[in-house]
Amino acid sequence: MKVLVIGSGGREHALAWKLSQGDRVQIVYVAPGNGGTATEPGLKNLPLTDPVALADFCQAEKIALTVVGPEAPLAAGVVDAFRKQGLRVFGPTKAAAQLESSKAFSKAFMKRHNIPTAEYDTFTDPVLAHAYIDQKGAPIVVKADGLAAGKGVVVALTMSEAHEAVDFMLLDNTLGVSHNAGLDGQAVPRVVIEEFLQGEEASFIVMVDGKNVLPLATSQDHKRLLAGDLGPNTGGMGAYSPAPVVTPDVHARAMREIILPTIRGMEKDGIPYTGFLYAGLMIDASGHPKTLEFNCRMGDPETEVVLPRIQTDLVELLVAAADGELNKVNLQVSPQTAVTTVLVSGGYPDVYEKGKVISAFSDQVEEVTVFHAGTATLNGQVVTNGGRVLAITALANSLENAVRRSQEAARTVQFSGKQYRKDIGLDLIRYAD
Ligand code: AMP
Ligand code: GLY
C-alpha cells in the first residue's frame, strides 16, 4: 500500500516514520517533506503543494491513504478537493477546519454548545474593543481571528499591552487577519478578547471519524523559548507524553464536557468533523478543564511524543478513521514516557539564518529518534531550513532516562546558532516526587 503525508515539519516526519512501520506499507510519500523525510528509508519526498496536483498524483499512483499534517492546507480545503475525486483522506473539510482557522467561529461554536471556555467577545471596531478592555481590566487575552502561525495571541498582563494588541491586530493589520475571509466571505480584521485563565495546560488530541472518537495518549508542550517557561512564545520547544496533569478524572471530564459535545455539535450544525482534533486545555486547581483553543490537526511537537508510544499500526487506525470505522479499532499505547527536546535556529522565534550544516549524529546518539522539522538536504549534507530544526525524542521506562537521553542528544547534535531548552521534562520528575 502507498500512502501520502502532506506537510514538511517534525509532525509530518513523525507521521511518515510511524506509517512506514506498517506491515502493508510499501512507500510513504511526503509532500513536500524535509531533510529527514528525504533521507529516511521507506520515505520519499514529493515536490508538490497544490491540492489538485496532489489529488491527481494520488489518482495516478493509486495512493491508498492521505493524511494532512498542518492547518494551512486543511483551511485551504485540501480534504474537500481529495473527496471530490473519491480519494481516501484523513482530515477535516474546510468548513470543519474553521474550529482552528477562525477563533470567532470556534468561540461562538463553544458558546452555542455549552463547551467550557473563557468568557469572551468578538470585535471588528477598535473603539468597542478598547472600551471592552477598559471595562474588564487586565490581565486579559487578545487573539487575532485568523491563522497567525502562533503569533496571533497576546496574553496581556497590563491594560496598555492589551490596547496595543488591539491596535496592532485591527489597525495595523500586519497579522494577515484579513486574509481569513471565512465562509461568510467577510474579509475584515477581527479580534476575540477573552478572560485570562489560570492553571496548567495540556494537549488533548483525539481521532474523529465523524461520529466515533478515539483519544490518543495525553501530552504537554512547552511553548516558551526559555527554561522555566520564560521568554517569547514559539511553535513549541519540547513536549512529553503522558501528561500527569491529565488525571483519569480530568480525562473523563475533557471527553464528557469538551470533546463529545464538540463532535455532536459539529454533526448537529451540519459540518461533521473528521480528522485529528486537538483541544488545548487549561486545567484549574480543582481539575476542571476549559478549552483554550481547538486545532484541527495534531500538535507539533506533541506528535513527536504521542506517536512513538502508539503500538497499534497507524495505517490501520487512519484507514479505519477515514472510513468511519474508528469504533472497530483497539488502540494500544506503551506505558513508557516519551520526551522530546526541540533544537531551534539562533534568533528564533524572530529573524534567523538558514543553511547551517547539521553535524552527523546517527553514530553519536543512541536510543533516541531524531525527527526533522526545518531541515533540507544540500550537496549531500543536511542543513537548517527553518526556525524549529530537529525534535529529539527519547522513549524510556523511567522518566529520568527519557529526560536524560533527550537532553544528551540535544547537547551532542551541533549546528551554528543552536538553541534549546535544558529543562524539558524536569517538571515531570518534580511532579512524580
Ligand atoms: P492559543 O493559540 O489560543 O492556544 O493561545 C496560545 C497560548 O496563549 C496558550 O497556549 C496559552 O498559554 C495562552 N492563552 C491563550 N488563551 C488564554 C487564556 N484565555 N488565558 C490564559 N492564557 C491563554
Ligand atoms: N504545540 C502546539 C501546536 O501544535 O499548536
As a whole number of angstroms, the distance between CA 134 and CA 48 comes to 48
* pLDDT one digit per residue (tens) for the chain, 433 residues: 999 999 999 999 999 999 999 999 999 999 999 999 999 999 999 999 999 999 999 999 999 999 999 999 999 999 999 999 999 999 999 999 999 998 889 999 999 999 999 999 999 999 999 999 999 999 999 998 877 666 688 999 999 999 999 998 998 765 545 444 444 555 678 899 999 999 999 999 999 999 999 999 999 999 999 999 999 889 999 999 999 999 999 999 999 999 999 999 999 999 999 999 999 999 999 999 999 999 999 999 999 999 999 999 999 999 999 999 999 999 999 999 999 999 999 999 999 999 999 986 655 566 899 999 999 999 989 999 999 999 999 999 998 999 999 999 999 999 999 999 999 999 888 766 6
Q: Kindly give the distance from the C-alpha atom of residue 178 to the centroid of ligand 2, in angstroms, as a whole number.
A: 23
Query: Which value, in Å, is the radius of gyration of the alpha carbons in the chain?
Result: 21
CB-ligand 1 contact for 153 (6 Å cutoff) = yes
Residue 168 grid cell: 496592532
- In this structure, the residue with its CA closest to atom 4 of ligand 2 is 299
As a whole number of angstroms, the distance between CA 231 and CA 251 comes to 30
Cβ atoms of 41 and 19 within 8 Å: the answer is no
Q: Kindly give the distance from the C-alpha atom of residue 125 to the centroid of ligand 1, in angstroms, as a whole number.
A: 23
Residue 416 grid cell: 551554528
Cβ atoms of 40 and 380 within 8 Å: the answer is no
- In this structure, the residue with its CA closest to atom 3 of ligand 2 is 299
Closest-lying ligand to the alpha carbon of 147?
A: 1
Q: Kindly give the distance from the C-alpha atom of residue 432 to the centroid of ligand 2, in angstroms, as a whole number.
A: 25
CB-ligand 1 contact for 138 (6 Å cutoff) = no
